[in-house]
A and B are shown apart, each in its own frame.
Chain A
Amino acid sequence: MDRRRFLTTVATGTLGIISLSSLKDKEKMQKITILHTNDTHSHIDPFPENHRKYPNKGGVGRRKRLIEKIRSEEEQVLLLDSGDIFQGTPYFNMYGGELEMKVMSAMKYDAATMGNHDFDGGIDGFIRAMPHATFPFLCANYNFDNTELKNKTIPFKVFQKGGVKIGVFGVGVELDGLVPKHLYKDTVYQNPVEKANETANILKNELGCNLVVCLSHLGNVARLNDMSDKVLAAESKNIDLIIGAHTHTFMDKPEMHKNKEGKSVLVNQVGWAGLILGRVDFYFDRKGNPDVWASNWMHTTYDIA
């Protein structure tokens, strides 16, 4: 649904309690800007000029400049990555991912999750690269208890941005059949939908987050098993935004889905190789007026979980 129609629906659906102008007056609202990447795959330099598909596109230096430009324009910015940071250029083969971690840290990433290719240097290889990252890795459905990664990742992290509390967590794809066992060792893959709902419930209902973001490396559409962002979105509760990865899906803008409770959940993904910087801005009611949204929460067609 486009915004115009959504505003109309809300306005008529609430018998004029909401004034349309106040909703449009976004300057008064709390704004949270979420920037994101996925499947950057060790692409440090821009693609060469003579590249068939992406000539002179991408590059971490340019990504940093764009992020800094947005940071200078927006008060509250969160920078996230949905995994597969590793593998794709000789930088990874030669240095095992430490340069990727260094440049992401220089860009001030807030958090990332692990993709299947982040296991390509083995559990040991990932641990060797980790000290170069100043941001945490969020993994809610991989149990690393029987590996060296135990206690080195966290399931979720809560960020306080202005008046808004944002809960971020990560879910990863099934590794069996995708990553050689000797690389992921005794990592236990747990059902991502169950773990996502469990984690989102903690973030939303126990820790009082105003926004819940899932970093997903499940893929936009199902490949190996029946798991995907579309499935997760439909089966989820309490998740507002799923930042996808794995399938290298180029999306012009976030896609709106309905969750298990009929509430809205956005899914976004930006291809691969650091060609595109994903961006979703959320506007919050700055005054926190419960008369407007909270009371109509369940009744509007647009109600982000």
Chain B
Amino acid sequence: MKLLLGALLFLTIASCGTKKVVDYDGANTEITSDYEDSSLDSIISPYTKEMEDKMNEVTGQASVTLEKQDPESPLGNFAADAMYEAALVYAKNSSEIDTSDMKKSLCLLNFGGLRAPILEGDITVGNVFEFMPFDNTLTLVKISAEKAKEMAYYLFEKHGQPVSNAKFQLSSDKQLMWIGGEPYNYDEDIMVVTSDYLANGGDKMSFFKDPIIKWDSGILMRDIYIDYIDANRPLGEYAVEDRITFIK
């Protein structure tokens, strides 16, 4: 009994300072111009100034305006070609990727990811940010012939997406495919160069699920485009050349 009383006393003393939750309120508040404030401006403005200068930096020129349209368009061809070229360099320098892996390889992107046209004339870094605001990275995915078939059918259903180093003639029951100019008969694994977003199944690209192997380079696609535009002055026409057509 003494022990119990002692324990009770102890508990009472211990719990005197012990605050217990009685109730709560929740109020999430939208941050609007009602709270206009300039006290951080002195910290932010030097960064903004330098950033704007960087954004206004000219990284190259376009000889014609590149716009997007399915199933194939200059903007898509430019986007896929630049990525495919960067992937070849990445694969060559990577100790994990065998050069033979790139023999049957192509690039596949999505029109949804290309957010602005490249306009004729000077191309600024800011323009490239508008074109590719996402921080997507160059990713290589090795998929089976079976998955390649699914990919071709996806291209039929989606009415095309940007591709490079490949050609497709598509119908609901027949999907003909060429890689690097040679017919591909869905009889061997292929390497697909794409973005990490798509490689993870984005834009319903379910054929990228459970790949044979996947390499995320960690290289931002935007940086690839900035470098590519810089190196290929001025950008050409990337004319439509029947990379994706539909057959009856």
Contact = CB atoms under 8 A, between A and B. Distances in A.
B20 A65 contact: no
B31 A277 contact: yes
B21 A277 contact: no
Interface string B2-38: 0000000001100111111111111111111111111
Nearest to B44: A44
A290 interface: yes
B15 A294 contact: yes
B12 A290 contact: yes
Interface stretch (B47-55, B64-72, B83-91, B237-245): B47-55
Contacts, number: 168
A282 B20 CA distance: 10
Contact of A210 (B11, B19, B34, B43): B19
B210 to A, nearest CB: 12
B17 to A, nearest CB: 6
B98 interface: no
Interface stretch (A135-143, A148-156, A267-275): A267-275
User: How many B residues touch the partner, as a band?
Assistant: 35 or more
B125 to A, nearest CB: 8
Interface in A23-37: 23, 26, 29-30
B121 interface: no
Nearest to A6: B23
Given A29-B22, A183-B218, A210-B19, A99 B43 contact: yes
A189 interface: no
Contact of A99 (B23, B34, B47): B47
Nearest to A163: B19
Interface in B81-112: none
Chain B at the A interface: SS class = mixed
B16 A62 contact: no
A5 interface: no
Interface string B112-145: 0000000000000000010000010100000000
B182 interface: no
A280 B32 contact: no
B39 A180 contact: no
Interface string A39-83: 000001110000000001111111111100100000000000000
Given A276-B28, A283-B23, A290-B16, 6 more contacts: A46-B33, A65-B36, A66-B35, A95-B51, A281-B27, A284-B21
Interface of A: 3, 6, 23, 26, 29-30, 44-46, 56-66, 69, 87-88, 90-91, 93-95, 99, 102-103, 106, 120, 163-164, 177, 180, 182-183, 208, 210-211, 240, 251-254, 266, 268, 270, 274-286, 288, 290, 293-294, 297, 304
Interface of B: 11-12, 15-41, 43-44, 47-48, 50-51, 54-55, 129, 135, 137, 196, 200, 216-218, 220, 222
